[in-house]
Every structure is written in structure tokens, then in C-alpha cells.
């Protein structure tokens, strides 16, 4: 399968970058960036998404150091153009038990980031935000709407498509396996990322009808971050509680069915057999 995993985010930083360095000088950096997305049939939520950029360049690599230096130099309200890839990692997620105060860790939790390949600073919007805090959002919508939050991936469906009715509006959900096209040195044992896709409206109905595990699709859309509640049981007092977490998904503008999807005659034959 051809590897295709491309993300472009053109937006502004919500705060200064968060930088974590160990004793060897290796660093990890996180950036929260606000981007905007185009309208999608059946998708009623916000036109703005707050996305997380993650980078863990190695200090001994000159080329990666240049990118880390560029990221460290950014500040809140800088307008940046970042090209990268979807990066889905298994991480430990800590929380505090509300009953006994014990710190618990959910092992093998999942987090989805954008891993940057190139970063360009376009402008600084701090003065505009001081004058009117809505100006940075208006700049995104008026000048960069088509490119502010853009994701293109080719992937294989690895879960049965299902209707998610618990959200504000129902949609079709399925998971993809996306081969990596970009080598991440600090993650050299990971070859595939597994993002979720949530499709709405007519696209969601078609995905539910035609997709199945093993289908190969080209998804063009945007990334959405939303707040969710994660379940965990306290290891100290056995209390079951929920903690705040973030889920990241691809919302398609369009989905192209490439291979191994269902055909209309196959669906009609199955429906006839089931009657």
C-alpha cells in the first residue's frame, strides 16, 4: 500500500511552547495551535480547532536541532505554517483519585499529535490580539480558511464502521492503519499510525454502507480535538472515576474508496439473503 500521511496547519500559537529537557540535553516540545476548518455537511461544531504539535528532536542531530531551535523561538500569537504527519502514540495518562487523592496512571492510553517536518513563522499577531482578541481568528477565516487545517491520508480500515449516536449529531466512526512515509528517529520501532475517522452527513452514510475492514481509502479532511472523559479505577481505594482527556479525530471533507470496499450488487445480494 502506498504511504501517504500529510498534515498542514496554518494557525497561531495559543501560548508559549512547553519545553521539557532531560539531563542529556535532549528535548521535547509541545505547541498548542488554533486553526480553522471549512464547513462539512452534517458537522455542526466549532469552526476552530486547538491542535497539539509534538516534537522530540535529538540534540546530536544538526538538522533536527535547527527545527527544535525554530520551535523554541516561537511565542504566543505567532502565526505559523507547519507541515507534518499524524503521529499516534501510546502514552501513560496520569490522574488523581477524587476520593483518596492517589495518583493513578492509565497505561497504554492513546494520544494523537502532529509531528512537524517544516515550520515557517509568517507573522506575529500579539499586537492585533491586544487590540481585539478576535482578530487572529478573523485573519484565519478570511485569509487562510482553505489551508489552515488540512489532512490527507491513505489508510486501510481496521475496524468495523459503526454509528456513534452519543454525540450531538450521529456520525460514522472507523479506525485507519496509515503507513508512515516519514521516518521519526525517536520512534524507529513504529511503522504505522492508527487515527480515528468520524464522518458526518452523506459521507457518513456512505462510509457506513460501503466500508469494511481491509478497505483502502484516501481521506481528505481536517483534524478535530474534543474534550472527553476517560474511565479509570483507583489502585488504592478501588473507586471508579472519570478524568478529563482529549480525543483527536479526522473529520473528512471527502473519502475516496480505492480498494476492497463493498459494491452495490454485493450489498443488494446480502440484503436479499437476509430477508
What local confidence, expressed as pLDDT, does residue 110 receive?
A: 84
Instruction: Determine the pLDDT at residue 63.
Output: 52
- Mean pLDDT, 10 residues at a time, the chain of 275 residues: 80 96 82 95 86 80 73 96 93 92 89 93 95 95 95 96 80 94 84 94 94 97 91 94 92 96 76 44
Contacts of 61 (CB under 8 A, 6+ apart): 185
Question: Chain centroid to CA 135: how far?
Answer: 25
pTM above 0.75, yes or no: yes
DSSP secondary structure letters along the chain: ---EEEEEEEEEESSPPEEEE-TTS-EEEEEEEEEE----TT--S-SEEEEEEEE---TT-HHHHHHHHHHHT--TTEEEEEEEEEEEEEEEEEEE-TTT--EEEEEEEEEEEEEEEEEEEEEE-HHHHHH-TTHHHHHHHHHSTTTSEEEEEEEEE-S--EEE-SSSS-EEEEEEEEE-SS--GGGTT--EE--EEEE-HHHHHHHHHH--TT-EEEEEEEEEEEEEEEEEE-TTT--EEEEEEEEEEEEEEEEEEEESPPPHHHHHHHHHHH-
Amino acid at each position: 500500500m502506498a504511504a501517504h500521511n500529510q498534515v498542514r496547519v496554518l494557525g497561531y500559537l495559543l501560548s508559549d511552547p512547553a519545553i521539557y529537557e532531560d539531563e542529556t540535553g535532549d528535548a521535547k516540545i509541545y505547541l498548542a495551535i488554533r486553526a480553522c476548518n471549512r464547513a462539512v455537511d452534517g458537522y455542526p461544531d466549532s469552526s476552530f480547532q486547538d491542535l497539539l504539535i509534538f516534537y522530540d528532536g535529538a540534540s546530536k542531530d544538526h538538522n533536527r536541532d535547527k527545527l527544535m531551535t525554530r520551535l523554541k523561538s516561537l511565542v504566543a500569537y505567532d502565526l505559523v505554517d507547519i507541515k507534518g504527519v499524524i503521529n499516534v502514540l501510546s502514552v501513560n495518562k496520569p490522574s488523581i483519585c477524587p476520593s483518596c487523592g492517589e495518583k493513578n496512571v492509565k497505561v497504554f492510553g492513546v494520544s494523537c499529535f502532529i509531528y512537524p517536518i517544516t515550520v515557517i513563522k509568517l507573522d506575529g499577531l500579539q499586537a492585533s490580539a491586544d487590540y481585539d482578541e478576535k482578530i487572529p481568528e478573523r485573519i484565519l477565516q478570511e485569509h487562510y480558511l482553505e489551508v489552515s487545517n488540512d489532512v490527507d491520508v491513505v489508510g486501510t480500515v481496521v475496524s468495523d464502521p459503526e454509528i456513534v449516536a452519543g454525540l450531538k449529531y450521529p456520525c460514522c466512526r472507523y479506525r485507519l492503519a496509515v503507513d508512515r512515509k516519514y521516518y521519526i528517529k525517536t520512534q524507529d520501532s513504529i511503522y504505522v499510525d492508527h487515527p480515528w475517522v468520524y464522518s458526518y452527513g452523506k459521507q457518513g452514510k456512505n462510509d457506513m454502507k460501503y466500508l469494511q475492514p481491509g478497505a483502502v481509502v484516501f481521506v481528505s479532511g481536517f483534524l478535530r480535538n474534543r474534550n472527553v472523559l476517560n474511565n479509570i479505577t483507583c489502585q488504592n481505594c478501588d473507586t471508579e472515576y472519570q478524568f478529563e482527556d482529549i480525543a483527536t479525530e479526522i473529520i473528512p471533507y471527502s473519502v475516496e474508496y480505492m480498494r476492497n470496499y463493498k459494491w452495490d450488487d454485493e450489498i443488494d445480494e446480502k440484503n436479499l439473503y437476509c430477508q
